[in-house]
Amino acid sequence: MPKVRVGLVGYGTIGKRVVEAVNKQPDMQVVGVVKTKPDFFAQILLSKGFELYAASRESFESMSKAGLEVKGVLEELLTKCDVVVDCTPEGTGAKNKPLYERARVKAIFQGGEKRDVAEASFVAEVNYQEALDKTFVRVVSCNTTGLSRTLGRLNAEFEIKKVRATIIRRGADPVETKRGPINALIPNPPHIPSHHGPDVQTVIHDLPIVTSAVIAPTTLMHLHVVNVEFAQKVTKDGVIDALSRSKRIRFVDSSNGFDSTASIIEFARDLGRARGDVPEVVVWRDSLTVMDNELYYMQAVHQESIVVPENVDAIRAVTGLEREAARSISLTNKTLGLE
Amino acid sequence: MPKVRVGLVGYGTIGKRVVEAVNKQPDMQVVGVVKTKPDFFAQILLSKGFELYAASRESFESMSKAGLEVKGVLEELLTKCDVVVDCTPEGTGAKNKPLYERARVKAIFQGGEKRDVAEASFVAEVNYQEALDKTFVRVVSCNTTGLSRTLGRLNAEFEIKKVRATIIRRGADPVETKRGPINALIPNPPHIPSHHGPDVQTVIHDLPIVTSAVIAPTTLMHLHVVNVEFAQKVTKDGVIDALSRSKRIRFVDSSNGFDSTASIIEFARDLGRARGDVPEVVVWRDSLTVMDNELYYMQAVHQESIVVPENVDAIRAVTGLEREAARSISLTNKTLGLE
């Protein structure tokens, strides 16, 4: 079976990780990566052996002038791809969509795009089947992915009456020096519910969920405090069993040194993981508490990498490379070291 | 009626504010302030016209040697007081208690002390009567005070079935350079429920409340995301009415520029409030949402000053200076500019 030919559009926080993840898949081939600016990230991209394409004619000129070897523009890349992963900034994906349609190339969008950019929103362990053979699929945002992973597992095994979650959002990614806050807490959005609840519902349809969100001055990870009210009695062991069935959910214990998001990232760095990434949603086992029909827990989400395995699986789903969710997920996990 | 003679023990974040608040009361007189170290805070204290006492003989020597005018030691101050406000670090209040007992002086402790240090825990608008004529009363911590104020008002007017609150704690006070985190979110405690729920119950007895807490890298204020499930239907207007009856609850609107804890503090600074203090608990009106029988809201707590008016009222309650809560609270509010 020939490898699926994948183009990457955008080489920011998500794009640069997805291209390396795709490159590790035995059934996929990276054809090229589209960038706009001739910055040092473009040099890194070339040094890693990827082919560079320009987002536009102007971009082609400026990158060529900077001495970079540019293979062509986006439209030319599209003629060589079966599918593209669009990792451009919020809203740009929707603007690019007509190009993909014209070129008859399938596309995976990110969670910054509105849900109607795609035929389905996607979290592999929850609704892989929904994305099968679709043309356009949207991998949901980092917070929505984290919530969907744990709530999806719980929803598969128990009857959920209501979810109430507070999302403490990181203010910026480590490299984003123009974003804040440095010293403040920001209700964001200032109204309740936040958009995250409805976004989870694009993946786990009809889940009764209310979310609120506050931005904090940190760059490492988001942190969720989740309350799940069940229509039945559950036990802590039952919950741990349910969550343990996913390799994309990792348990840590505060008593074992995982006392903050910083120690989770340090753990990943010490493990030798590229960039110190943690694509798993990380649940503090000590925080898991069952009281009557209610479960409480805290989890951390590495905003830079949690959606990376989802993008790989989304490629398999839309191209029909693999029709069984479990097999795609297992291959992705193995190649990305999530075991 | 002679003024009640008040001694202050401890001149840290809370102590230095309480002494100035007490000094503004027409029915109270500050006799002296106890400090341990001869630092620049001691000089400020003297420059404000307060009399300085030493926590111990050694402390007396070191402060005298530094050229400070020290009136005597703690035990000597106690002979001149009707009541002391103990604002010493966590645990020190309990150690001081035998001294107060021996001197037959009433004492107000802070929330860092365990509840059993006192006969009653205290939030003026909730349980002033409980503190009347007591010898030892504990003003609860900043987070507990903030929760008790809004939940106390709601509990007085509606039947509460359950409260679930997430507390995003400030990592340090602005002056505390040895505390962190600088860049991490810390489940603190890592288990659920946190101690705040039971602490609220020392004031609002039998309130069904579950709290969780996470520390964030900020120094300005705590932020609470509160969910209240009622045994009855409530309306947003009804909730606003209930909360509006307290001058110690202040509404702000995100749409009006109050988009973070930083803008709340900036508002207080621009108003000309001493130290930029905000002794009110601050509720974001735009966050108030009623869905079925459930209310959600976000509120901010200025950890440095929220308990200041409570300490003033606690003095009136234990000394019997004023037997009616509303009259003490009104006088305190007026003298502290909470209107």
CB count within 10 Å of CB A3 equals 14
pLDDT of res. B217: 98
Task: Tell me which of B78, B85, B142, B325 is the catalytic residue.
Answer: B142
Output the CA–CA distances (angstroms, integers) from residue B177 to A338, B231, B276, B277, in the order listed.
39, 45, 19, 20
Angle at which helices A142-157 and A236-244 cross, to 10°: 120
| Close Cβ partners of A116 (under 8 Å, ≥ 6 residues apart) | none
For B297, the closest chain A residue by CA position comes to A192
Name the phi and psi angles at A313, rounded to 5: -65, -35
Residue linked to tokens 């003679």? B5
Q: Which chain A residues contact residue B262 at CB under 8 A?
A: 181, 183-184
Q: How far apart are CA A230 and CA A295, in angstroms?
A: 8
Q: Where are the alpha helices (DSSP H) in chain A?
A: 15-23, 40-47, 57-65, 74-78, 92-103, 124-131, 142-157, 196-201, 236-244, 261-270, 308-319, 325-336
- A217–B contact, CB cutoff 8 A: yes
Return d(Cα B74, Cα A318) in angstroms, integer.
Answer: 77
Residue from A164, A169, A185 to probe the interface with B (highest B Cβ count within 10 Å) = A185
Is B286 at the interface with chain A, CB within 8 A? yes
Residue A168 to residue B214, Cβ atoms within 8 A: yes
3-state DSSP percent of chain B in helix, strand and coil, to 5: 40, 25, 35
All residues of chain A having their beta carbon less than 8 Å from the beta carbon of residue B194 are: none
Set of chain B residues whose Cβ sits within 8 Å of the Cβ of A225: 166, 192, 212, 214
Interface residue of A214, A224, A254, A266 to substitute, partner B, most B CBs within 10 Å: A214
Q: What is the ipTM of this complex?
A: 0.94
| DSSP character string of A147-193 | HHHHHHHHHHHS-EEEEEEEEEEESS-TT-TT---SS--EESSSSSS
What residues of chain A score a pLDDT lower than 50?
none
Phi then psi for residue A86, to 5 deg, are -90, 110
Phi, psi of B65 (to 5 degrees): -60, -30
Residue A217: asked if its preceding bond is cis (omega within 30°), the reply is no
Tell me the two tokens of residue B310: 């409570």
Non-local CB neighbours of B200 within 8 Å, separated by 6+ positions: B140, B144, B147, B148, B151, B207, B209, B211
Nearest CA to A307 out of A35, A96, A43, A18 is that of A18
Q: Is A291 on the interface with B (CB under 8 A)?
A: yes
Instruction: Give residue A158's pLDDT.
Output: 98
Question: Domains along chain A?
Answer: 4-140+307-336 (3.40.50.720), 142-301 (3.30.360.10)
Chain B contact for A156 (CB, 8 A cutoff): no
A293 in contact with B at a CB cutoff of 8 Å? no
Residue A168 touches partner B, C-beta closer than 8 Å: yes
Return d(Cα A36, Cα A178) in angstroms, integer. 19
Contacts of A214 in chain B (CB under 8 A): 168, 223, 225, 298
| SS3 assignment, position A121 | strand
- pLDDT over threshold 90, residue B161: yes
Indicate yes or no: CB of A190 within 8 angstroms of CB of B298: yes
The gap from C-alpha A233 to its chain's centroid, in whole angstroms, comes to 32
Q: Which residues of A are the active-site residues?
A: 142
Spatial distance between the Cα atoms of A261 and A65, rounded to a whole number of angstroms: 42
How do strand A281-284 and strand A289-291 relate by DSSP bridges? unpaired
How crowded is residue A278: how many other Cβ atoms within 10 Å of its Cβ?
Answer: 25
Residue-wise DSSP of A239-304: HHHHHHT-TTEEEE-GGGT--SHHHHHHHHHHTT-GGG---SEEEEGGG-EEETTEEEEEEEE-TT
At A109, which helix (H) or strand (E)? Answer: strand A106-109
Residue from B143, B175, B192, B292 whose CB has the most chain A CBs within 10 Å, to mutate: B192
Distance between CA atoms of B101 and B306, rounded to whole angstroms? 28
Q: List the structure tokens of A269.
A: 């760095």
Spell out which residues of chain B touch residue A286, defining contact as CB-CB under 8 Å. Answer: 190-191
CB A321 within 8 A of CB A4: yes
Å between B234 CA and nearest CA of chain A? 16
Residue holding tokens 């917070």? A143
* Residue A36: both structure tokens together: 């706009």
Interface check B300 vs A, CB under 8 A: yes
Provide the pLDDT for residue B147: 98
Q: For chain A, positions 230-269, list CB contacts with chain B under 8 A.
A: 254-255, 259-263
Does A306 appear as a known binding residue? Answer: no
CA angle B285, B219, B272 (to 5 degrees): 65
Q: How far apart are CA A15 and CA A21, in angstroms?
A: 10
- Mean pLDDT of the residues in chain B: 97
B148, HSE (Cβ side, Cα atoms, 13 Å): 30
Give me the residue from B220, B262, B284 closest to A190, CB to CB.
Answer: B284
Rounded to the nearest 10°, the torsion over CA B48, B51, B54, B59 is: 50
The mean pLDDT value for B225-239 works out to 97
Burial of A273 (0-12, 13-18, 19+ CB in 10 A): middle
Q: How confident is the model at residue B2 (pLDDT cuts 50, 70, 90)?
A: confident
CA distance A216 to A191: 16
**For the segment B11-63, what is each residue's pLDDT rounded down to a tens digit?**
999 999 999 999 999 999 999 999 999 999 999 999 999 999 999 999 999 99
In this complex, is the C-beta atom of B23 within 8 Å of any C-beta atom belonging to chain A?
Answer: no
Q: Could you say which of B210, B221, B298 has the minimum Cβ distance to residue A296?
A: B210
Beta carbons of A229 and A294 less than 8 angstroms apart: yes
pLDDT interval class at B339 (50, 70, 90): confident
Answer whether B185 touches A (CB < 8 Å): yes
Alpha helices, DSSP H only, in chain B? 13-23, 40-47, 57-65, 74-78, 92-103, 124-131, 142-157, 196-201, 236-244, 261-271, 308-319, 325-336
pLDDT tens digit string along B266-313?
A: 999 999 999 999 999 999 999 999 998 999 999 999 999 999 999 999
Q: What is the pLDDT of residue A2?
A: 87
In contact, A189 and A167? CB cutoff 8 Å: no
Q: HEC string of A204-230?
A: CCCCCEEEEEEEECCCCCEEEEEEEEE
Q: Grade residue B1 by pLDDT with cuts at 50, 70 and 90.
A: confident
pLDDT in tens, B101-140: 999 999 999 999 999 999 999 999 999 999 999 999 999 9
Is residue B246 classed as helix, strand or coil in its secondary structure? coil
Among candidates A185, A260, A284 on the partner chain, residue whose Cβ is nearest the Cβ of B184: A260
Nearest-angstrom CA–CA distance, B73 and B129: 33
Angle subtended at Cα B244 by Cα B238 and Cα B245, rounded to the nearest 5 degrees: 100
CB atoms inside a 10 Å sphere around CB A44: 12
pLDDT in the model for residue A339? 82
Whole-prediction pTM value? 0.95
Calculate the dihedral angle through the C-alpha atoms of B293, B298, B304, B308, rounding to the nearest 10 degrees.
-40
Residue A311's pLDDT is 98
What three-state secondary structure class fits B137? strand
Cα gap A153→A238, rounded to integer Å:
11
The amino acid occupying position B313 is: D
